[in-house]
């Protein structure tokens, strides 16, 4: 009950961090003061900007629809508000005209012909009463009460065949509730601020409760055993049928059954107003578009007029609150003769005498609403001879669900009273909005963008409003605070309160990492209860403590325990009772037993009879708190793009309210768990039976309290959380309300004929079933029905129709990349019997006794054991070589084992029919890695090992060059003459890697070639490739400093070439004198590089001469050629080396990042963007994804913005950055190791803004900055400056204040047209892959994201088809890519499973057919092996250099079967004739303007292009010849 202190001004909150350190030195003090002032100014500006942006958002999103319109509200409410009032009025009239009748469960039968319990036969449905037939009775809604089940055939002997009926007087009370009824419509937003879903207006349909009243619908002990909810559901179906009559469709529209707050046990009605209305033809043609207000009569016929759907109406059923009574009714239920309730308490309602406190009145005895009461018990439990504690387990969630139906009206009044008393007072005039309204709207949009609002297990607008009510009533939010301040306070409150009592817990982490738990389950539960926060909304005029002290319900609880309880474990206060009942021993420890998952946060109303947050699960609380903490960091300036002080456009506002980050984009892996057998297992669990050996009470014992859906959902999440432990940082279930909101899913085109028969399409995946239609209906939209099961009261799940996929649960996992690779789960010590039993019950037979090096003998689970029949289900899927690095370690294996053990029936496992579970899009890894689970894995299967091999060869080559270049005195050359074994006059100081294959970035890493000193890796031993596919491995050498280097540029180039020649001769000489088998193949020397073969790899060696860089820098008047040469040398030698080190460090720290980079490279090439987006740019974007500043260690909260742990998640983020980053307005700053200071960031932004013109068309299109992208970087050697003589001097920090930052790898490419195309393709690919996850992807459905469609190909201007002889690997084609992970047709007999990566790598290793050479045992082949073979790439280079001003050329470097062209529009603008510029020009034939006489001739261009590629191209197809249409031109001339 701690009240949080109120916040200061937003700017002050943002300034607080800057005052942590007090400088002592004067100069430092002045600099620090200036920095503080700048920081304060930035914080103030950021705060003001956020305030202005939120003001505009509130203005655009606010919606006013007053239930009772008046003259003062007309000027600011929506124009269609009268339509809403008219609809509600018609609805209220229909409900008030309901006739009295007798209701029974037959109202809910799916078939109207079924009466007296008759059934409907359907193929494939088992009879659940134990018979052998296929007959079952299906109902529209779940019916679970004991009275209903006893009335079924086969039920209780005393009541078998006796129908259960109850009277309905026809009198109901209809009241607006929720946002529609709040003062000023607090929380009501328009469609665009509501996730593209029209707003839903809530109406409460209240019935009377009590005894002795003819109008009472519920009474007696209807609160027991689902009797109340069954009555409500039957009444809901009855009213739905009345409203869906044909005579009411023109007024009411369609009627759907839906769920209340995601609770499957409680049914509500969702009404969709008709979108077609009648317009009387007699009114004349001039009045067809006008309608009289409220005119919905269609009796006269007329023309149909369609209008836009504006709203839905939801009918929520509850009980009318009773007036305060004077007499004591405590004994009014004692005469109930229900034989099942003899063990139930008979306390009545409490009548308090304190007039200052609100007294809650209800037909339910007040003591029955205590959270420790058991109001719902399974059949036979009261007479069971087992544990009394099990038979009388409390049902806090069930009790709270009862209270919800009683508090519908009072909850709305509580919110409205708070708004009125806080802002208006008794005499003030109400205004349209207040700070409360604005704050609620901001929180609602923030939650909606993150999937935290609406539906099951999420916030509702009312729960958010109630938290705000608490904050306002406790003065945590002041009346004078602005909406941004109030929003910040809400985030602080929600993120810092210990809602679950687990913030300080260390048990889970310790137990998961292998050490034994610190305490038993009881001690853990006691600690959680002590730490858990519980809040009570203060009553009017009282604070929180006074409200609790004077609450009649709390006082009645104290009296109750004094008189009836002698147990020391019973809490002494009602608040502690809530803590005890809404807290369990749930943890991420596999050694803590827990089969009951009722954890929930606690926020009570002033009467302490309802917990407003009881529906929120622990997984939701953890995720929402982490999001709230991230929102605080964002508001305080710690943004994702650059940490403190980032000033990108949009900034906090865009991150908080515009960016969508819902379920399908939040997690590393997604798992689908089929639920075909869970219902049967649930029934047996609830009755105390065992399912499998070793499966003892892990989940499902809370079904009576939570209901089937919630018990299954929480059970799956908690069991996975226990099993995975610290391998994951978050686990969340996909439910209605947190799905995809990008599509507009509301159906507004339903005709009158089929209205009410189609399922409502909601973009939030909210559950909605039409009331019309049944099992026999031909409608394909029927989703599910409910089966009644006599004998036993375990609730049954919906039975889906046969034409639909099997229902499943989708679980999202956020994986810790480090802990996920742990291969041993160690159990508790042997003396901890409770923990050992819990460990064995969780893991089953996998938990075996093992002895460890420390001498301990404990049970443990080992995950790197060889495949055995016991885990055949787990190991039957292809296992990739980099599973541990790319798929989150062994998380998938753990999930598969847990699902098999606890969520799969043993019969299906024995029959081999158990469905396998796996990560979605797992086969996509096959594009960058091979399969290692084959009986004989190929040496080409592990891409990581292939990279390691080439790196090992590089280390060996570098050592060879360094050691053999050491100069020593050689007397044969003369006195004091020095030479080395290689004959080099200078020692090689450094050998630096530059190639992507030396930093894990090469899509196809090089494979040792047998003619270059390697071993044969292919399958065909008779042939070997005569060329190396791809580019050689690039490295550079640096010689020791010397004054003998030439002083002219031309001589410097000659000296570098001479060094390469001498190196080649030295290697040849050493090969003759020494046995150097590692060197093989030809040695080629060019003026700029040297190609050699070493250990099977082709190496390209270049020379880096720092003296050359200094010489170019010291030129007094450098020419343009000198400037260009200097920049080229710096980029190639200096920045290239620094880039390599940066990317190598990222890939080493984050193992999956290298595979993401390679997969992104494959995607770019597949869309024919090779060389248009540099590979270095791809690597920097991936590095940005993995190395944004996170500050995870500084907070107890789990971080949401953590690096991805799987390839799929990382690739998703790559596509997201490429498609959503504002390239025109913001640079992308990549700084993995925080080398770029805040001052540098300011310089980067200033220089970026100065380059861009108002039209945003100047400067590089893709502006990516890394730590090496500043002028003068060549002078840096670590932290030293290289002087003229090669010595190192200290760095002057003042020189860093005037750095010039500019992109290195994206300065010229990609062009704007290419970047726009890439962004559009990234968005389409992201949408497609997301849909694959949402819909359950097949093995190769995702491959469309890596292919060009036929429509995309037609968008090009011309297509140049390459001869097949120049295409080595067709599996990487842009039109027909290979995506199958399995055995190929030639390998089926061997059973070898391969991936597309393996097959492509083998093709590339085999080389072009025309260049393959035959091998013989006794014949040595000639050494004429080509070090590089890229004919198509060479052709592309020539075309771009010569014809790049006329067209843009696209191709796929890995499978260049097509070269595509797009004409540049600027090249076809008529211009003046010039003899010197007349190439490829033709006269303008028809229309001449001024001096525009010639235009580009496409025929000449295509002829030249065809001639340039005559040896490579097979065909040319021109789709757009850019010729003017003579017909249209002649028509324009005649018109003139």
Q: Are strands 602-604 and 534-536 parallel, antiparallel or unpaired?
A: parallel
Which residue, 500, 726, 718, is CA-closest to 595? 718
Asked whether the beta carbons of 1177 and 1306 are under 8 A apart, the reply is yes
For residue 29, the model assigns a pLDDT of 52
Q: Looking at the predicted structure, is the pLDDT value of residue 1534 above 50?
A: no
- Structure-block tokens of residue 1212: 């998703």
Confidence of residue 513 (pLDDT cuts 50, 70, 90): very low
Asked whether the beta carbons of 804 and 783 are under 8 A apart, the reply is yes
Q: Looking at the predicted structure, is the pLDDT value of residue 930 above 70?
A: yes
Cβ-proximal residues to 1112 (8 Å cutoff; 6+ apart), any chain: 1049, 1118, 1122, 1125, 1126, 1129
Q: Looking at the predicted structure, is the pLDDT value of residue 1158 above 60?
A: yes
Confidence of residue 161 (pLDDT cuts 50, 70, 90): low
Q: Give the Cα separation of 10 and 15 in Å (integer).
A: 9
For residue 949, the model assigns a pLDDT of 93
Confidence of residue 970 (pLDDT cuts 50, 70, 90): low
Which of the listed ranges 31-45, 213-227, 634-648 does the model predict with the highest average pLDDT? Answer: 213-227
* Strand, helix or coil for residue 749: coil
Across the range 1361-1376, mean pLDDT stands at 92
Among the ranges given (634-643, 1120-1129, 1171-1180), the one the predictor scored with the smallest mean pLDDT: 634-643
Asked whether the beta carbons of 211 and 363 are under 8 A apart, the reply is yes
Complete DSSP assignment for 1423-1451 = ---EEEE-HHHHHHHHHHHHHTTTEEEEE
Stronger pLDDT, 488 or 1293, i.e. the higher one? 488
Q: Give the Cα separation of 501 and 1517 in Å (integer).
A: 69
Within 515-668, strands assigned E span 534-536, 602-604
Please name every residue paired with 177 in a beta bridge, in sequence order, or none if there are none. Answer: 202
Q: Give the Cα separation of 231 and 225 in Å (integer).
A: 12
pTM, rounded to two decimals:
0.86
Across the range 1151-1163, mean pLDDT stands at 94
Q: What is the pLDDT of residues 1070-1100, one digit of tens each?
A: 888 887 888 888 899 999 999 999 999 999 9
Cβ-proximal residues to 1337 (8 Å cutoff; 6+ apart), any chain: 920, 921
Percentage of residues in the chain having pLDDT higher than 70:
73
Across the range 1133-1144, mean pLDDT stands at 94
CB-based burial, 765-796: b 16+ in 10 Å, e otherwise: bbbbbbbbbbbeeeeebbeebbbbbbeebbbb
Within 930-1046, strands assigned E span 968-969, 978-979, 988-993, 1023-1025, 1027-1029, 1033-1039
Q: Give the Cα separation of 195 and 461 in Å (integer).
A: 14
Across the range 437-454, mean pLDDT stands at 91
Q: Looking at the predicted structure, is the pLDDT value of residue 679 above 70?
A: no
Mean pLDDT of the chain: 77
Q: Looking at the predicted structure, is the pLDDT value of residue 848 above 70?
A: yes
Across the range 146-166, mean pLDDT stands at 71
Q: Looking at the predicted structure, is the pLDDT value of residue 1033 above 90?
A: yes
Among the ranges given (259-268, 330-339, 580-589), the one the predictor scored with the smallest mean pLDDT: 330-339
Q: Give the Cα separation of 1167 and 1338 in Å (integer).
A: 22
Stronger pLDDT, 1011 or 132, i.e. the higher one? 1011
Confidence of residue 1446 (pLDDT cuts 50, 70, 90): very high
For residue 2, the model assigns a pLDDT of 43
Q: Looking at the predicted structure, is the pLDDT value of residue 894 above 70?
A: yes
The count of other CB atoms within 10 Å of the CB of residue 968 is 8
Cβ-proximal residues to 898 (8 Å cutoff; 6+ apart), any chain: 719, 720, 723, 842
Which residue, 153, 117, 160, 159, is CA-closest to 137? 117
Asked whether the beta carbons of 1000 and 1154 are under 8 A apart, the reply is yes
Find the DSSP H helices in 244-339.
Answer: 249-252
For residue 511, the model assigns a pLDDT of 41
Q: Looking at the predicted structure, is the pLDDT value of residue 474 above 90?
A: yes
Stronger pLDDT, 168 or 690, i.e. the higher one? 168
For residue 654, the model assigns a pLDDT of 87
For residue 358, the model assigns a pLDDT of 58
Among the ranges given (154-163, 566-575, 1290-1299, 1435-1444), the one the predictor scored with the smallest mean pLDDT: 1290-1299
Q: Looking at the predicted structure, is the pLDDT value of residue 565 above 70?
A: no
- Structure-block tokens of residue 1022: 């008779």
For residue 1384, the model assigns a pLDDT of 62
Asked whether the beta carbons of 1459 and 1436 are under 8 A apart, the reply is yes
The count of other CB atoms within 10 Å of the CB of residue 32 is 17
Which residue, 762, 773, 751, is CA-closest to 274? 751
- Structure-block tokens of residue 176: 């607006």
Stronger pLDDT, 1324 or 509, i.e. the higher one? 1324
Q: Distance of CA 404 to CAs 229, 316, 393, 604, Å?
A: 12, 11, 21, 12
Stronger pLDDT, 1153 or 865, i.e. the higher one? 1153
Cβ-proximal residues to 580 (8 Å cutoff; 6+ apart), any chain: 371, 372, 529, 571
For residue 1331, the model assigns a pLDDT of 86
Q: Give the Cα separation of 852 and 839 in Å (integer).
A: 17
Stronger pLDDT, 769 or 36, i.e. the higher one? 769
Which residue, 795, 788, 773, 781, is CA-closest to 685? 795
Which residue, 800, 736, 790, is CA-closest to 767? 736
Stronger pLDDT, 885 or 1004, i.e. the higher one? 1004
Q: Looking at the predicted structure, is the pLDDT value of residue 882 above 50?
A: yes
Residue 1031: DSSP 8-state: P
Which residue, 1370, 1366, 1430, is CA-closest to 1396? 1370
What are all long-range contacts of 277-286, with beta carbons under 8 Å and residues at least 24 apart?
A: 277/250, 277/304, 277/305, 277/307, 278/250, 278/302, 278/303, 278/304, 278/305, 279/303, 279/304, 279/305
Among the ranges given (33-47, 1102-1116, 1152-1166, 1227-1241), the one the predictor scored with the smallest mean pLDDT: 33-47
Q: What is the pLDDT of residues 1371-1419, one digit of tens each?
A: 999 998 888 887 765 444 456 788 899 999 999 988 888 888 776 655 5
Q: What is the pLDDT of residues 1184-1224, one digit of tens each?
A: 999 875 444 344 455 566 789 899 999 999 999 999 999 99
Across the range 965-970, mean pLDDT stands at 79
Stronger pLDDT, 1294 or 237, i.e. the higher one? 237
For residue 821, the model assigns a pLDDT of 86
Across the range 1286-1302, mean pLDDT stands at 57
Q: Looking at the predicted structure, is the pLDDT value of residue 968 above 90?
A: no
Q: What is the pLDDT of residues 689-714, one digit of tens each?
A: 444 433 446 777 788 888 877 888 88
For residue 692, the model assigns a pLDDT of 45
For residue 1212, the model assigns a pLDDT of 93
Across the range 1154-1170, mean pLDDT stands at 95
For residue 917, the model assigns a pLDDT of 80
Confidence of residue 120 (pLDDT cuts 50, 70, 90): very low
Across the range 1237-1259, mean pLDDT stands at 87
Q: What is the pLDDT of residues 991-1003, one digit of tens each?
A: 999 999 999 999 9
Backbone angles phi, psi at 54, to 5 degrees: -65, -30
Q: Give the Cα separation of 1134 and 1137 in Å (integer).
A: 5
Confidence of residue 1536 (pLDDT cuts 50, 70, 90): very low
Q: Give the Cα separation of 1385 and 1398 in Å (integer).
A: 15
Confidence of residue 887 (pLDDT cuts 50, 70, 90): confident
Among the ranges given (187-201, 495-509, 835-849, 852-866), the one the predictor scored with the smallest mean pLDDT: 495-509
- Tell the burial category of 753 from Cβ atoms under 10 Å away from its Cβ (0-12, 13-18, 19+): exposed
Q: Looking at the predicted structure, is the pLDDT value of residue 56 above 80?
A: yes
Asked whether the beta carbons of 198 and 120 are under 8 A apart, the reply is no
Q: What is the pLDDT of residues 172-208, one digit of tens each?
A: 999 999 999 988 889 999 888 887 788 899 999 999 8
Please name every residue paired with 1482 in a beta bridge, in sequence order, or none if there are none. Answer: 1495
Q: Give the Cα separation of 346 and 1502 in Å (integer).
A: 95
Confidence of residue 34 (pLDDT cuts 50, 70, 90): low
- Structure-block tokens of residue 354: 């304190």
- Structure-block tokens of residue 316: 């929520």
Q: Looking at the predicted structure, is the pLDDT value of residue 1432 above 90?
A: yes
Q: Give the Cα separation of 489 and 480 in Å (integer).
A: 13
Q: Give the Cα separation of 1199 and 634 in Å (integer).
A: 13
3-state helix, strand, coil in the chain (%, to 5): 40, 15, 45
Across the range 1133-1151, mean pLDDT stands at 93
For residue 1200, the model assigns a pLDDT of 63
């Amino acid at each position: 009950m701690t009240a949080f202190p109120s916040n200061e001004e937003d700017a002050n909150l943002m300034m607080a961090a800057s005052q942590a350190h007090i400088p002592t030195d004067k100069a430092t003090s002045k600099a620090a003061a200036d920095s503080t002032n700048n920081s304060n100014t930035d914080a103030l500006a950021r705060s003001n900007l956020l305030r202005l942006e939120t003001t505009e958002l509130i203005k655009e999103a606010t919606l006013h629809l007053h239930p009772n319109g008046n003259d003062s509200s007309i000027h600011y409410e929506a124009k269609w508000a009268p339509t809403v009032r008219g609809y509600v009025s018609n609805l209220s009239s229909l409900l008030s005209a309901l006739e009295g009748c007798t209701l029974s469960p037959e109202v809910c039968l799916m078939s109207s012909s079924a009466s007296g319990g008759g059934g409907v036969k359907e193929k494939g449905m088992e009879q659940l009463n134990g018979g052998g037939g296929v007959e079952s009775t299906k109902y529209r809604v779940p019916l679970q009460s004991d009275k209903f089940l006893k009335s079924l055939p086969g039920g209780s002997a005393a009541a078998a065949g006796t129908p259960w009926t109850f009277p309905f007087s026809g009198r109901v009370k209809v009241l607006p509730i929720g946002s529609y009824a709040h003062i000023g419509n607090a929380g009501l937003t328009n469609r665009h601020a509501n996730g593209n879903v029209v707003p839903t207006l809530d109406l409460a349909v209240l019935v009377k409760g009590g005894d002795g009243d003819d109008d009472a619908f519920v009474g007696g002990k209807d609160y027991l055993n689902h009797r109340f909810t069954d009555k409500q559901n039957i009444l809901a179906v009855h009213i739905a049928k009345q409203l869906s009559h044909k005579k009411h469709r023109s007024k009411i529209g369609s009627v759907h059954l839906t769920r209340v707050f995601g609770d499957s046990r409680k049914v509500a009605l969702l009404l969709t107003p008709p979108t077609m209305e009648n317009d009387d033809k007699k009114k004349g043609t001039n009045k067809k578009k006008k309608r009289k207000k409220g005119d919905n009569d269609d009796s006269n016929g007329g023309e149909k007029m369609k209008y836009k759907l504006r709203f839905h109406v939801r009918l929520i059923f509850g009980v009318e609150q009773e007036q305060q009574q004077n007499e004591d009714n405590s004994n009014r239920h004692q005469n109930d003769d229900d034989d099942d309730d003899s063990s139930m308490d008979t306390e009545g309602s409490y009548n308090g005498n304190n007039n200052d406190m609100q007294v809650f009145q209800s037909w339910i005895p007040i003591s029955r609403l205590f959270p420790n009461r058991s109001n719902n018990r399974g059949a036979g439990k009261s007479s069971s001879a087992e544990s009394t504690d099990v038979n009388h387990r409390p049902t806090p969630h069930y009790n709270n669900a009862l209270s919800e139906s009683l508090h519908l009206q009072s909850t709305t009044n509580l919110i409205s009273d708070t708004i009125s008393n806080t802002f208006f007072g008794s005499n003030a005039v109400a205004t349209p909005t207040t700070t409360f309204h604005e704050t609620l709207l901001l929180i609602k949009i923030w939650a909606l963008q993150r999937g935290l609002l609406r539906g099951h297990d999420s916030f509702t607008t009312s729960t958010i409003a109630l938290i705000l009510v608490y904050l306002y009533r406790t003065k945590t939010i002041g009346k004078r605070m602005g909406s941004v301040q109030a929003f910040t306070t809400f985030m602080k409150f929600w993120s810092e309160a210990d809602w679950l009592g687990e913030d300080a817990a260390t048990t889970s982490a310790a137990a998961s990492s292998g050490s034994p738990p610190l305490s038993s389950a009881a001690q853990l539960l006691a600690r959680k209860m002590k730490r858990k926060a519980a809040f009570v909304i203060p009553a009017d005029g009282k604070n929180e403590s006074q409200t609790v002290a004077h609450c009649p319900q709390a006082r009645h609880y104290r009296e109750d325990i004094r008189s009836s309880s002698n147990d020391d474990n019973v809490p002494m206060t009602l608040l502690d009772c809530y803590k005890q009942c809404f807290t369990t021993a749930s943890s991420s420890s596999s050694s803590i037993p827990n089969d009951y998952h009722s954890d929930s946060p606690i926020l009570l109303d002033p009467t302490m009879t309802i917990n407003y947050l009881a529906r929120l699960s622990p997984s939701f609380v953890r995720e929402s708190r982490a999001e709230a903490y991230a929102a605080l960091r964002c508001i305080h300036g710690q943004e994702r793009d650059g940490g403190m002080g980032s000033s990108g456009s949009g900034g906090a506002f865009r991150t908080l309210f515009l960016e969508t980050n819902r379920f399908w984009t939040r997690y590393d892996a997604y798992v689908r768990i089929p639920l075909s057998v869970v219902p049967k297992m649930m029934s047996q669990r609830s009755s105390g039976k065992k399912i499998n050996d070793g499966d003892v009470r892990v989940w499902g014992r809370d079904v009576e309290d939570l209901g089937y859906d919630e018990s299954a959902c929480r059970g799956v999440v908690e069991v996975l959380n226990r099993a995975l432990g610290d391998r994951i940082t978050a686990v969340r279930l996909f439910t209605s309300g947190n799905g995809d909101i990008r599509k507009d899913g509301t159906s507004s085109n339903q005709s009158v004929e089929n209205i009410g028969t189609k399922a409502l399409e909601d973009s939030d995946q909210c559950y909605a079933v039409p009331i019309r239609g049944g099992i026999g209906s031909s409608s394909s939209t029927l989703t599910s029905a409910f089966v009644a099961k006599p004998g036993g009261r375990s609730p049954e799940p919906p039975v889906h129709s046969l034409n639909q996929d099997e229902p499943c649960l989708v679980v999202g996992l956020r994986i810790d990349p480090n802990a996920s690779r742990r291969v041993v789960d160690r159990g508790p010590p042997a003396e901890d019997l409770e923990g050992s039993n819990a460990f064995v019950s969780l893991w089953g037979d996998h938990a075996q006794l093992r002895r460890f090096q420390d001498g301990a003998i404990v049970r443990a689970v080992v995950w790197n054991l060889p495949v055995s029949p016991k885990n055949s289900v787990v190991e039957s899927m292809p296992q990739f070589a980099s599973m541990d690095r790319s798929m989150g370690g062994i998380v998938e294996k753990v999930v598969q084992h847990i699902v098999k053990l606890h969520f799969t029936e043993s019969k299906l496992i024995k029959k081999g029919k158990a469905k396998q579970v796996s990560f979605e899009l797992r086969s996509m890894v096959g594009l960058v890695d091979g399969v290692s689970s084959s009986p004989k894995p190929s040496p080409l299967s592990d891409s990581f090992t292939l990279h390691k091999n080439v790196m090992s060869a590089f280390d060996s080559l570098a050592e060879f060059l360094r050691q053999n270049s050491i100069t020593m005195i050689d007397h044969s050359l003369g006195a004091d003459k020095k030479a080395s074994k290689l004959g080099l006059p200078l020692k090689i100081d450094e050998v630096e890697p530059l190639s992507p294959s030396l930093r894990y970035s090469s899509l196809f890493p090089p494979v040792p070639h047998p003619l270059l000193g390697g071993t044969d890796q292919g399958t065909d031993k008779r042939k070997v490739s005569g060329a190396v596919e791809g580019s050689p491995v690039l490295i550079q050498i640096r010689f020791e400093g010397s004054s003998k280097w030439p002083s002219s540029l031309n001589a410097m180039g000659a000296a570098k070439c001479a060094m390469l020649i001498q190196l080649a001769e030295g290697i040849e000489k050493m090969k003759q004198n020494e046995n150097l088998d590692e060197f093989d193949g030809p040695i080629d020397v060019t003026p700029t590089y040297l190609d050699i073969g070493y250990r099977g790899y082709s190496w390209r060696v270049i020379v880096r001469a720092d003296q050359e860089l200094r010489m170019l820098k010291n030129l007094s008047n450098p020419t343009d050629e000198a400037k260009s040469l200097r920049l080229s040398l710096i980029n190639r030698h200096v920045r290239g080396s620094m880039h390599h080190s940066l990317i190598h460090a990222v890939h080493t720290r984050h193992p999956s990042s290298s595979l993401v980079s390679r997969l992104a490279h494959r995607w770019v090439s597949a869309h024919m963007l090779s060389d248009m987006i540099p590979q270095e740019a791809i690597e920097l974007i991936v590095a940005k994804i993995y190395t944004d500043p996170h500050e995870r260690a500084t907070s107890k909260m789990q971080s949401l913005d953590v690096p991805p742990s799987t390839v799929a998640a990382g690739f998703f983020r790559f596509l997201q950055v490429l498609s959503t980053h504002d390239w025109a307005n913001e640079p992308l700053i990549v700084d993995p190791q925080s080398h770029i200071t805040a001052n540098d960031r300011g310089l980067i932004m200033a220089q970026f803004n100065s380059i861009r013109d108002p039209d945003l068309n100047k400067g590089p299109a893709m502006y990516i900055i890394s730590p090496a992208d500043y002028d003068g970087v060549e002078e840096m050697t670590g932290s030293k400056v290289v002087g003229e003589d090669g010595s190192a001097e200290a760095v002057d920090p003042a020189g860093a204040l005037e750095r010039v930052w500019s992109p290195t790898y994206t300065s010229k490419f990609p062009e704007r047209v290419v970047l726009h195309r890439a962004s559009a393709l990234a968005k389409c690919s992201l949408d497609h892959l997301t849909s694959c996850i949402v819909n359950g992807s097949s093995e190769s459905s995702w491959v469309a994201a890596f292919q060009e469609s036929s429509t995309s190909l037609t968008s090009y201007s011309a297509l140049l088809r390459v001869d097949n002889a120049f295409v080595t690997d067709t599996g990487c084609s842009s039109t027909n890519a290979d995506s199958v992970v399995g055995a190929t047709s030639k390998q089926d007999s061997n059973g070898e499973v391969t991936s597309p990566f393996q097959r492509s790598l083998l093709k590339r290793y085999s080389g072009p057919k025309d260049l393959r050479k035959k091998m013989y045992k006794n014949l040595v082949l000639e050494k004429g092996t080509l070090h590089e073979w890229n004919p198509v790439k060479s052709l592309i280079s020539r075309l771009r250099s010569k014809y790049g001003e006329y067209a843009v050329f696209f191709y796929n470097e890995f499978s260049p079967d097509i070269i595509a062209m797009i004409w540049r529009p600027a090249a076809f603008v008529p211009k003046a004739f010039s003899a010197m510029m007349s190439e490829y020009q033709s006269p303008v034939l028809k229309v001449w303007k001024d001096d525009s006489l010639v235009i580009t001739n496409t025929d000449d261009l295509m002829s030249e292009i065809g001639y340039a590629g005559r040896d490579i191209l097979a065909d040319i197809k021109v789709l757009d010849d850019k010729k003017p249409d003579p017909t249209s031109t002649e028509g324009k001339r005649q018109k003139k």
